Amino acid sequence: MRTAPFFVSGMLTLLTSLSTGVAGAAQAEVTVSQSANTDLLVSAHWLEAHLKDPDVVILHVADTPDQYNKSHLPGSRFLSWGSVATTRDGVANELPSLGQLAQTFRQLGVDENKRIVLYDEGAGLQAARAFVALDYLGLGDRSSLLDGHWKVWQSEKRPVSTEVPKPAVSQFIPRLNPDVVVSERFVQDLVWLRQNGAINLNLLDARPSAQFSGSEPGEGISRGGHIPGAVNLFWMEHVESEARPLLKSNDALRQMLAARGIQPGSTVVAYCKTGGQASHSYFLARYLGFRTRLYDGSFSEWSRRAENPVVSGL
C-alpha cells in the first residue's frame, strides 16, 4: 500500500466528515442519539392493507421468475437479481450502470411519486440489494423492505396471486446519490488514515466469521482475511432465523453494532466478498439511522491487489 493517501480536492474534508473523529484529533466516544428510519421497513399487515394502493409499487426480487410465476404478492412486479447485480472488472455482484438501472426501474413503472416495497424469497439479501440500487438512484427514502419477505407472508397465509401486471413505463429521471458507493481508492485512504491515527471509521464486514478470519477464505479469494480495522457481523444475524426472516428488534440490532464499536452518529462502510451480503448490512445501518456507504468491490477487489493489506484472525 502506498505511503500516503491520495487526495482529490476536498478529500480530507469529506473523509473526516464521514467519521466520528477529526483528522489529527484524539478520538472521542460518540454519545449522540439517533432515530431509526422506520419508513424503510413495512410490516406484512401494513402492506396487505395497501395492496390496492395505486401509489405503492411492490417488487419481487429473485434470480429467476420461477416462484413468481407460481405465486406472488398481488400486484407485485418481478425484478431479477441480474438487473441490480452484474460482473465488472472480474468482480461479481457490482451495480450496473446508471443508464441500465434507470431503464430497469422505468420498465417496472417506478418513479419518484411511488412508494416502493421490496421483498425476496430468502432472508432479505436480494431485496436489500435492490434497495441499494434505488438509494443510488435517489429513491432510497421512498423505498422499503417487507419485514419477513415472502416466507413470512406465505406462512401467514396472506393473499397471493398468479396475475402478472403490465405497468406503464415511467418517465423516471434519477437524482443520483453518488455517496452510496465508495471505491477501492476511497477505502485505501480510510485505512491509511485510521492506521495513522487521523480518523475513526467503521468498516463492517458482512461475511461469515470463517471468511472474515481467513480460515475459510471462500471461492476465488487467494488471500484470506479482512480489511484492516474492520469488524465482523454476519448479515444473517440481523434476522430472527432463515425460516422466519423478520428483522430483529432495534435495540438488539443496536446492541450488536455497539458491541463491535459502532456508536450512534458514526458512519458505516459495509463490505463483504462481492457486495451482495454487504447490501443487507447497508440497509440495516441505513434503517438504524447511521450514515452509510457500500464498498461494492468488497474483499474480492481488495484482496487481489498485493499492495492492499489483509489481516487474518478474529
The series of mean pLDDT values per 10 residues for the chain, 314 residues long, is 42 48 32 78 98 97 98 98 93 93 98 97 98 98 98 98 97 95 94 74 94 91 93 98 97 97 92 97 97 96 94 90
Write down the pLDDT at residue 90.
83
Write down the pLDDT at residue 125.
98
Contacts of 49 (CB under 8 A, 6+ apart): none
Write down the pLDDT at residue 82.
97
Q: Distance between CA atoms of 26 and 133, rounded to whole angstroms?
A: 36
Q: At which residue does the C-alpha cell 423516471 appear? A: 172
Angle at 281 between CA 275 and CA 283, to 5 degrees: 100
What φ, ψ does residue 144 adopt, rounded to 5°? -140, 155
Write down the pLDDT at residue 33.
63
Q: 248 in helix, strand or coil?
A: coil
Q: Per CATH, is 11-31+178-303 categorized as 3.40.250.10?
A: yes
Sign of CA dihedral 295, 291, 84, 241: positive
One of 3.40.50.150, 3.30.70.1400, 3.40.250.10, 3.40.1640.10 is the CATH number of 38-155, namely 3.40.250.10
Query: Which residues make up the CATH 3.40.250.10 domain(s) of the chain?
Result: 11-31+178-303, 38-155
Write down the pLDDT at residue 18.
53
